[in-house]
Structure 1
């Protein structure tokens, strides 16, 4: 007897049958899905696939697939790159120790007793092509305060420590006076910063307390001017539905399997049976369902317009960034100009662009 149900087996096999880089299909969302819809779909799948809940032998593998999909689609910059290329953005990241790097603690010939490495630095950490900015700042003491470098030791009378201004050489004993002066300057800077913070304008603190109220009033005012497209009483051509908009999907998924079409553009969307029963139990059910259809259509077009604007801005940024003072990166410009804009294309198909 197996420890998992037929439903658990089905969801595992379904996820593993999808191409792992087809992240939208993996998370069962549209390309126009917003962040909230992506997070909600991921949570549902995670509950069904987590190895603690699903004892199928491949549940862990399926869980990693949806986790990777959420990692890409849940990050705006990674999602933009994925939408443009259709491949995993992380797969193109560079790194490694490079061909010319050397590892800490491996010994460096030519110094007395060998080069002892960086204290506090992991063994084998390279200084080749994959060397990043954080390590660079840390190694060359360019971080905040200038006191985050490592200490070196070359044999018996080597150089020890890294100060605010780079390397300094000492005899076997550290220059205590120099260290004391450095500490004094650091303490003085910290004291000045603390004093400036304490003497800040009191009116600013008072204003900050009222910022949440100002935001609330501003949102209410803007919602009033816009007619409240997300209000609890949506009206369109004398048709309406009352109450908060129900949950719906643009793709058939799970319990959302009752299909409806929007009035003007025949865009399919799906609601669950409980939502339909709720509308059917109302006095003017047909009128309210028609109002819901119009509301969903407006929201769909809004998402397309937002996505198209985001795609066009990204394309423009790529082209502008490839244009230099002395020369242009024509390969990047050509790639950006031929880049597909799926949201804009959908608007064009609907004769809205």
Structure 2
């Protein structure tokens, strides 16, 4: 299928790399995988070259063995799942370190150890949103423990290293758990709701910054990092990166549209001008087909924006302050969360919606004074427009509390790390305990409102 061309090209480049290093089993595996994804003449020729070279090596080894004395030695050969030892004593006997196999590309068997199988079964036995159980960490653990647990599980479950059935699904579960728990805001939302903070049906906001703190480039969709991207960030590749040269000495050209979006890859080659031109035309058509959804999306967005050009812009709400000033001297209390705020009565009465609503009810806030009139006295003065405005005040107040709480928590973490230092030598642990016990007022207010555990 055309959609598998990119992955087939990537596997082809890996096969060429192993073939150049005389690692014929791995080269054959990736060549077969490339052909199964998207058959190309280059892959077929490479597979034939691999089989020829492997047969020649086997013949050479057999001749060398017949001329020499029988000896006992341990040879290491790469296989689809890792390393396998073969003991040679006259006749060849092979034994695997693993205790099981799983099907691989082209009918190969991928081996795995009992420990790897147990890790897969444990992770897959957890619910998809039991992120702490998946990573085997406590709910009050530090971020460093989460990173350490992810490193360990990612190495144990990566499909290239673990051939147990379901290893790739377990690897995705571990990566998803790390995405959520390594982001402080998403972790806070998850601790409060117990559901995926990126799931729109849960009604929870998603952090706009995504995973940019772990090296994600600009652009793309927020929080969209594949399990392979996470693995490569910690362990530096694993075959997923770009390769310097394609077949025939030509360079590899890659174009990326967004994070995990549409990507096109073209591998250069030397010779065969007519065939190259035909392949280039086919790739151009393929690129246009891949870009077609983006073009359609842009067109629909443009069409949907046209009605807004002829509509009246929304009327902004009156301004307000959290503390009393000479201008903002009328205090109110929202009907929802009971948040106290202060407004300019003249601005409110001039508002084309709220002011008209208050005048219709026979209320004039300009006659109120801060001394005689408490907010509770006028709490009944809440029509639909005013109620909508105060709901927005509650939302702004909540966002402010979340921001202040996160900033206070980060400040405590920095102060604690600065006191402990790198090795903890000469640390005043009593001071560290005092830092941990410091109260963050905004966090306490969120707990009082029932928005934070």
* Bucket of the pairwise TM-score, normalised by the shorter protein: 0.3 to 0.5
Q: State the TM-score, normalizing by the size of structure 2.
A: 0.27
Q: TM-score, normalised on structure 1?
A: 0.34
**Whose strand fraction is larger, Structure 1's or Structure 2's?**
2
**Of the two, which has the highest radius of gyration?**
2
